[in-house]
Structure 1
Amino acid sequence: MTPLSHIRNFSIVAHIDHGKSTLADRLIQSTNTVAERDMKEQLLDSMDIERERGITIKANTVRIDYTAKDGQAYVLNLIDTPGHVDFAYEVSRSMRAVEGSLLVVDSTQGVEAQTLANVYQAIDADHEIVPVFNKIDLPASDIDRVAEQVEDVIGIDASGAIAVSAKTGEGIVETLEAIVTELPAPKGDPDAPLKAMLVDSWYDPYLGVVVLVRIMDGVLRKGDQIKMMQTGARYGVDRIGVFRPQMQNIDALGPGEIGFITASIKQVRDTRVGDTITHEKKGTDTPLPGFKPAQPVVFCGLFPVDSAEFEDLRDAIDKLALNDASFSFEMETSAALGFGFRCGFLGLLHLEVIRDRIEREYDIELITTAPSVIYHVYLKDGTQMDLHNPADMPDPSTVDHIEEPRIKATILVPDEYLGDVLKLCQDRRGIQLDLTYAGSRAMVVYDLPLNEVVFDFYDRLKSVTKGYASFDYQLEGYREDNLVKMSVLVNEEPVDALSMMVHRDRAEMRGRAMCEKLKELIPRHMFKIPIQAAIGGKVIARETLSALRKDVTAKCYGGDATRKKKLLEKQKAGKKKMRQFGKVDIPQEAFISALKMDG
């Protein structure tokens, strides 16, 4: 086991695309942790979808051996974290497992919203923070301006910041030296009872559940009997190892070390992230302070396009849930779409990633219903229910009031786009809390309803600011508002996949936009189709899709006009009958594009 003074545990935090994964690649490469022939871009991102989108979704860890300039050998445990707001809980739990952070800031772009959010998490976890300015090889790089921003906005001394180009490898040796000299060594007592923190867990088809642990006190050896303090479950340790990105088996893990164990655990559900692992006999009595579990924020229904694939979808969702404890699901049925699942996600990117993984890894075509959030519905008899799906809304006459979740959003935006951003937030029923300046950029803080944000707020924000704004949010709690359920009727039949909760003042506008959009999207049939938006029994908007006309009078030439009339009357009667019994086919694309509301 390595002595404590020669271990350094650190994570890399940054905004999306500021170069965390590339910097991790260079650190691994320069210490020869991985042979040159095995080196590839984004080495720690193992999922296809991570490599393709160029984002990190799961926090990944690697152990690096480094010999410092003074000849001492050090063990560095690095955790590469995601930068996207949807995966912030991955960042928060990685922070608890390490003592320091490298704060990576793009020297061409400066401090962004997610930089702030991630740094605050590091400061909350009492980290020593070393600023690293990346991308100095680019002509637009401006280190002095970025250093000033870091000091003004975050309040960290940036005089000792390291200038790095993760692409070319410049400044990597200085970064390694700074990790050894500036970050603290972990604390821990090898003779105390075992205390290990469960940082992450995932399912491996050969080994069962693999658990990533950080040892705080004591020593964990192969063959030990352990117990999980939250669940009380007991297991025997089969193997212990570390990641040099590939798994490497070792005999024991001591204080301050990060590694993995397998103990023939069957389900990821049995391993709760943040739990304390101790020995079954002579274990510790006090668990480590846990951190709050991930709360799903956005809900939507997933249905197979071909209803025969329902069982395949169930298997796919079960397997994904094995690896992602933050993703929750339950069965649901819909008149329009058949059997499917109501799933909870941490945000829209999380939803997209899961949907892409199901479609790609399991080859199932999906219909996704409108994303919605949880509302608290208070009934007149004093009971309260959680409303996940607008289709389950109780009768309005029994409802006293409805509360919706609100968030506190922080938006950093260049000065010239500030007006557009304020207008966008006002349109989404936002309440401005704060407006400050950091150099030429404005930092706006808004109180916004979450259901206005989950739809397409992020896309709209990016388009009105030409991609320069950055956005971060946290949940603030629930507040009462004047909300109603708007249902959409096509040919006088309600389409439950399109029903949604809206604010009463904006219902008419939303309804009109929805009807106009559906009119363009639904193909014409042989009979005319009314498309209506309604609140309760009151129709608030209507469009009529005119019928296709077949030329039934083509074979009439000459003769009396009544011949033509007769044929047309006959056609009219047929259409009337068709409209009574005809089924309207709403194509799959229509559902998805109808839900992307503009303006």
Structure 2
Amino acid sequence: MQREFIRNFAIIAHIDHGKSTLADRLLELTGALSEREMQAQVLDAMDLERERGITIKAHAVRMLYTAHDGLEYQLNLLDTPGHVDFSYEVSRSLASCEGALLLVDATQGVEAQTLANAYLAINHGLEIIPVINKIDLPSADIVRTKEMIEQTVGLDARDALPVSAKTGEGVPEVLERIVHRIPAPKGSPDTPLQALIFDSWFDPYRGVGVFVRVFQGRLRRGQKIRLWSNGKVFEVETLGVNTPKPVEIELLEAGEAGFLFANLKNVADTKIGDTITDDDRPAIEPLPGFEELKPMVFAGLYTVDAHEHTLLREALEKLRLNDSSFFFEPESSAALGFGFRCGFLGLLHMEIIQERLEREYQLDLITTAPSVRYKITRTDGEVTEVDNPSKWPAQSEIAKVEEPVILATILSNEEYVGGILKLVEEKRGRQKGFEYVSASRVMLSYELPLNEIVLDFYDRLKSVSRGYASLDYHLAGYWESPMVKLDI
């Protein structure tokens, strides 16, 4: 399809603000799915995603829409995870779009996660369309929600679209706004290939599948492609798009998004944010923004029954196939026997892995208290990273210890601020910002050691705020800390 008729967009929303329901309505209205085929939350394929109401993996779905101007448009919805642990995946999905729907619950207003992802989208230069959802509920307050969008995100919300994703009211106007407000993708099919990997998954029959957005050039079946980060070369065996059912195609051109299989056997080869180029006619430079993902939270996983140790290893290896950010290595404990030291992006990532092991592999697990990775500078100048007290050097060899720090954004009702301030100070927080975003909502910015967040911070924040506070955070470097190892 000609590029001027293509629109690539994402939906930015907090957990439970109705993102998957809105995606379902868009699929229904564009005829991608009949009513009979509709299964609530089509894009959330994992049981856990449906149950927790969160999107864990990114998906790309193509819809064809005939607008009121009589022209047919190709709409590519690049569905993004909403949770803080997956913010790098979100940033790569947003980098693949030209626009985004900012979906806000009319009964809740703007939450911290929405804010973080909206800023990400603004930084990527996306055209943002505010959409106010759940207007069918009696407690919906559209005027207050518009004010919050303007004050917190800084967007003009006068023409924000009021919708009910549940009933379908107002959703046709969303499609028209996508067509007329989101710009067509740039790029040329005749230049050397540059395609961005924004997700990957493992298929037991075909190996690793990769979701890509083509920025320059063409991708076709049989083409030899090169991965920029490791220089490995593969041949494209299958190209396809989700409609949302997978459909095989011959060609993806600049501006389009889809998936490919290329006899890849290892998810670790296909790093999110990496650039794919043509082996015979490579691009001069990769697409910007690639980062190597590093685990930030560590915990030991052990089976209650020692005989299940081999089953746990096999299960971890299978999960690793689908999740390149997950890391594990064998470890042993005098009390718990043989187990594995595992690294995760964050606490939710850890919970999801643990729940999948218990649910999909019927394993009974013991998880040790989570810890973080410290940076230790030795007296001889060597810098090492330690995530387990058993690897801690002797005190006489340590010149300084640094611990990872996050910048947290907390949004809360004014009456709970006192309790929140007490909590963050107890957790060694340093205040960076304090502002009113509406008459009764306050936004706090704090630097906090990651170590203080990983245990019970989120639960205690919800407790002191009666569930009204929301939290978002990102890594902000390291602090020097007077840490010592305590032997008991």
Aligned residues: 487
Shift, 1:256, TM fit? 0.6
Post-superposition CA distance 1:305-335 (Å, at most 9, x none) = 2222222111111111111111112221222
2:31 alignment counterpart: 32
Q: Distance in 2 between matches of 1:377 and 1:359?
A: 35
Which AA in structure 2 matches 1:220? L
1:482 alignment counterpart: 482
Which AA in structure 2 matches 1:332? E
Shift, 1:382, TM fit? 3.4
Q: Are 1:12 and 2:11 an aligned pair? A: yes
Which AA in structure 2 matches 1:455? L
Quick check: 167-176 or 303-312, which moved more? 303-312
With the length of structure 1 as denominator, give the TM-score of the two structures: 0.79
Q: Distance in 2 between matches of 1:290 and 1:121?
A: 12
1:224 alignment counterpart: 223
2:313 alignment counterpart: 314
Q: Percent identity?
A: 57
Shift, 1:285, TM fit? 2.3
Quick check: 53-62 or 129-138, which moved more? 53-62
Q: Are 1:471 and 2:476 an aligned pair? A: no
What is the SS of the residue equivalent to 1:103?
strand
Shift, 1:395, TM fit? 2.7
Q: Distance in 2 between matches of 1:318 and 1:242?
A: 28
What is the SS of the residue equivalent to 2:446?
strand
Shift, 1:484, TM fit? 2.8
Post-superposition CA distance 1:196-242 (Å, at most 9, x none) = 11221110112211111111111211111222122211111111110
Which AA in structure 2 matches 1:285? I
Quick check: 428-437 or 397-406, which moved more? 397-406
1:404 alignment counterpart: 403
Which AA in structure 2 matches 1:447? E
Between the two structures, name the one with larger relative contact order (CA 8 Å, sep ≥ 6). 2
Q: Distance in 2 between matches of 1:430 and 1:486?
A: 23
2:147 alignment counterpart: 148
1:448 alignment counterpart: 448
Which AA in structure 2 matches 1:92? S
What pairs up with 1:501-580 in 2 under 5 angstroms? 534=488
CA contact (8 A) 2:58 2:198 kept: no
Shift, 1:50, TM fit? 0.9
Change in Cα spacing, 1:383 to 1:231, as seen in structure 2 (3 Å) is closer
Q: Distance in 2 between matches of 1:109 and 1:403?
A: 38
Q: Distance in 2 between matches of 1:376 and 1:278?
A: 36
2:457 alignment counterpart: 457
What is the SS of the residue equivalent to 2:299?
strand
Q: Are 1:361 and 2:360 an aligned pair? A: yes
With the length of structure 2 as denominator, give the TM-score of the two structures: 0.97
What is the SS of the residue equivalent to 1:109?
coil
Shift, 1:79, TM fit? 1.5
Q: Which has the larger radius of gyration?
A: 1
Which AA in structure 2 matches 1:481? S
Post-superposition CA distance 1:537-569 (Å, at most 9, x none) = xxxxxxxxxxxxxxxxxxxxxxxxxxxxxxxxx
CA contact (8 A) 2:57 2:199 kept: no
Q: Distance in 2 between matches of 1:142 and 1:26?
A: 22
Q: Are 1:44 and 2:43 an aligned pair? A: yes
Q: Distance in 2 between matches of 1:386 and 1:263?
A: 36
- RMSD of aligned alpha carbons: 1.3
Q: Distance in 1 between matches of 2:379 and 2:276?
A: 47
Q: Distance in 2 between matches of 1:33 and 1:105?
A: 25
What is the SS of the residue equivalent to 2:27?
helix
Change in Cα spacing, 1:285 to 1:144, as seen in structure 2 (3 Å) is same
Which AA in structure 1 matches 2:29? S
Q: Distance in 1 between matches of 2:405 and 2:259?
A: 38
Off by >6 Å, runs of 4+ in structure 1: none
Q: Are 1:330 and 2:358 an aligned pair? A: no
Post-superposition CA distance 1:58-110 (Å, at most 9, x none) = 12221111000111000100012222111212211101111100000111111
The structure in which a higher percent of residues are helix is 1
2:351 alignment counterpart: 352
What is the SS of the residue equivalent to 2:294?
coil
Q: Distance in 1 between matches of 2:382 and 2:233?
A: 40
2:183 alignment counterpart: 184
Q: Distance in 2 between matches of 1:382 and 1:10?
A: 48
Give unpaired runs (5+ residues) of structure 2: none
What pairs up with 1:367-386 in 2 under 5 angstroms? 367-386=366-385
2:97 alignment counterpart: 98
Q: Distance in 2 between matches of 1:21 and 1:486?
A: 47
